Structures are given as structure tokens and as C-alpha cells.
Amino acid sequence: MLEKIDALRQWANTHEGKKLIRFTMVSVISTLVSFVTLFLVFGVLKLWSQVPSTIFANLVATIPSYNLNRKWAWGKSGRSHVRKEIIPFWTMSGIGIAVSVVGAQLARHVSIKHNLPHWEETAVVLIANVLSFAVFWVLKLLLFNRLFHVAEIEEFDEHLTAEEQASAS
């Protein structure tokens, strides 16, 4: 068991391990942004019904997701490339939002069918939204890793902090 933990720790210090951990943290952050936004606009403020609230919450979450993925997870800086970065990111985000909309519609159906009070309806919508994020996590990881991949491992060393370089040695 200790060998597996040590192997996992060693992998986490590799370039791929660090990138996956950062991507995972970005996903956690964007899921939290979406969750809180959806909770506020649908659950607390009751601004819109399930579907518009879900769309809004997920659009809000894509902004930190794009910026954090690009800068932190993949180490990109400078202007974004429209064809290689922005269009694929928004395409994937659009697909994710579409799945979230299906989840919101199912949540609406369940809420109506079971005549749920608003707080239970809110819980169903939030769960559907989180599950939608989970469905696309792996797919986005695979695609974004390919899109934002920096050519060779040697190039990653330029972006490592002194502490990261020391621990990699």
C-alpha cells in the first residue's frame, strides 16, 4: 500500500501529474462557481426557471474555467488563439451546457411530477447540474490536454518555479 502511495506521489510531481491536478482543481472551482450561481439565481432569488438559471450559471462558470485552464493548467500566456483555443473551448462548453439543460429539464419534470417544494426542487436542479459537470470532465480533460499541450517536456521546465524545479530533481 505504501508503495502505491509513493508511486502516486511521484506521479503527482511529474509534468502530466501536475497538469492533471491543476485541471482537476479548475474543474472543482468552475463547478463551485456554477453551483453557487445556480443556487443563488434559482434557489434564493428565484430569477428564472430551471433551464435559464442553469444556462446562466454555466455561462458564468466558463469564464474562470477558460482563464484558469489556459493560464494555470496548461501554462499558456499571451493572446488566445481563436481557432485552436477559443472555438474548441466554447464548443465543448456549449455541449456541456446542453447536457446541463437536459439535466435541468429532467429536474423540472421530476419536480412537477412529485410536486416538490422549491427547496427540494433546487436540490434536484443542483444535483443534475453537478452530474452534468461530471459527465464531461473526462472528455474535456482529453480534449483540452490535446489543445493546450505545450510541445515537449523540456519546454515545461521553463515554466516551473524554482521550488518545482528543485523537487523535480
Rounded Cα gap, residues 80 and 27, in angstroms:
20
Q: Does the predicted TM-score (pTM) go above 0.85?
A: no
Q: What is the pLDDT of residues 73-116, one digit of tens each?
A: 878 899 998 998 899 889 888 998 998 999 999 999 999 999 99
Q: Crossing angle of helices 118-147/50-68, nearest 10°?
A: 30
Kindly list the distances between the CA atom of residue 4 and the CA atoms of 12, 13, 21, 86, 145, in Å, as whole numbers in the listed order: 12, 14, 17, 38, 25
Tell me the three cell numbers of residue 134.
461530471
